[in-house]
Amino acid sequence: MTNRITTLSRSVADKVVVITGAASGMGRATAFLFADEGAKVAVTDLSRERVDAVVDRIRTAGGAAHGIVLDVTDADAIIGAVEEIRAELGPIDVVVNNAGLAVGGALEDPNFEDEWMRALDVLLTPHQRLVRACLDDLKASGEGRIINIASTEGITAQRGAMPYTAAKHGVVGLTRSMAVNLGVHGITVNAICPGPILTGITEDIPDDMRDTFARRRTALRRYGDPEEVAHLTLSLALPAASYITGAIIPVDGGLTAKND
Ligand code: NAI
């Protein structure tokens, strides 16, 4: 088709996107997808070696990326990382709060308090810190986008994961609140709720347990691939996604729809 009929842009070319926990799983798949689509990607995670591996892969494929070692529990490091990204790639248009880990914890566990604090420290508190650090850029962008990776645990609950579930419900609440507060600046804020996805977090679960869970709990009867989640992250970051905000969207193979 030589002349387009529609008006909104479906390109993230040259947009600057910062992704936390981008050396593995969904964060890495998201980094690869944005790079494939021409965005400039700030790859951040805990280890230099793993960050560099992702950056090298993107650059080898002809994409633009800058790697930063960032522990999201370190408030000062977040501010430093954002300054570095601005200097290396330019002002930030898209924030993807993705870093995470599995945190257990039944109320009876002696270390429940530690697990609780760890869940909030890694899975919730950093999200608002990174957004505050990027806020001037997101306002100036005109097409600022924030995508928070929550979980189906952000809308439902499994046994034995109370701190994780509470933190992920917090991410959902934070997403709605940020959407309401930042809409006036044209910034959209959405949460994705992945179901069972094959990543670093789930790789140690024995194959037969994974298989049984997926067959029993999901409509599609399988685990998802990280790229299947990255696809929605990219979609929410497009300029054309300008009227989607405050949405909490499952990417869960039908897990939250299923009741049989
Ligand atoms: P993953 O383990 O493959 O990737 C998570 C990344 O976060 C790792 O590279 C890890 O180093 C990084 N990370 C952990 N703590 C960090 C910290 N303090 N600072 C910076 N980076 C840190 O796991 P996955 O599954 O890709 O996790 C991404 C997000 O998806 C997490 O927020 C997780 O809670 C969420 N999620 C995962 C599901 C799954 O089935 N895999 C389901 C629902 C949500």
- Percentage of the chain surpassing pLDDT 90? 98
Catalytic residue among 34, 116, 164, 223: 164
Local confidence band at 157 (pLDDT 50, 70, 90 cut-offs): very high
Q: What are the tens digits of pLDDT across the range 198-221?
A: 999 999 999 999 999 999 999 999
Distance 205 CA to ligand 1 centre (A): 15
Residue 248 near residue 172, CB atoms below 8 Å: yes
Contact between 10 and 184 (Cβ < 8 Å): no
For residue 241, the number of C-alpha atoms closer than 13 Å in the C-beta half-sphere is 23
The mean of the pLDDT values for the chain is: 98
* Residue 1 scores a pLDDT above 80: no
Please tell me what DSSP assigns to residue 185.
G
Grade residue 196 by pLDDT with cuts at 50, 70 and 90: very high
Output the ligand 1 site: residues, CB below 6 A: 20-21, 23-27, 45-46, 70-73, 98-101, 122, 149, 151, 194, 196-197, 199-202
- 18-45 residue pLDDT tens: 999 999 999 999 999 999 999 999 999 9
Closest residue to atom 2 of ligand 1, CA basis: 200
Per-residue pLDDT of 86-96, as tens digits, reads 999 999 999 99
List of residues 6+ apart from 184 with CB closer than 8 A: none
Retrieve residue 237's tokens.
């970051």
Whole-angstrom Cα distance, residue 207 to residue 203? Answer: 9
203 C-alpha to ligand 1 centroid (Å): 12
Length, in residues, of the chain: 260
Q: What atom in ligand 1 is closest to the CA of residue 27?
A: 26
CA distance 229 to 201: 15
Ligand 1 atom closest to 29 (CA): 26
Tokens of 36: 């494939």
**164: annotated active-site residue:** yes
| Ligand 1 mutation target, pool 50, 103, 201, 256, most atoms within 8 A of CB | 201
List Cβ neighbours of 53 (8 Å cut-off, separation of 6 or more). 23
Mean pLDDT of 255-259: 97
Residue 14 pLDDT level (bands cut at 50, 70, 90): very high
247 burial type by CB count under 10 A (0-12 exposed, 13-18 middle, 19+ buried)? middle
**Residues in CB range of 38: below 8 A, 6 or more apart:** 11, 12, 13, 14, 63
> CATH assignment of 16-250?
3.40.50.720
- Count Cβ atoms within 10 A of the Cβ of residue 244 and give its class: 0-12 exposed, 13-18 middle, 19 or more buried: middle
Q: What is the DSSP letter of 252?
A: S
Chain segment 95-148, per-residue pLDDT in tens: 999 999 999 889 999 999 999 999 999 999 999 999 999 999 999 999 999 999
Exposed / middle / buried, residue 207 (Cβ in 10 Å: 0-12, 13-18, 19+):
exposed
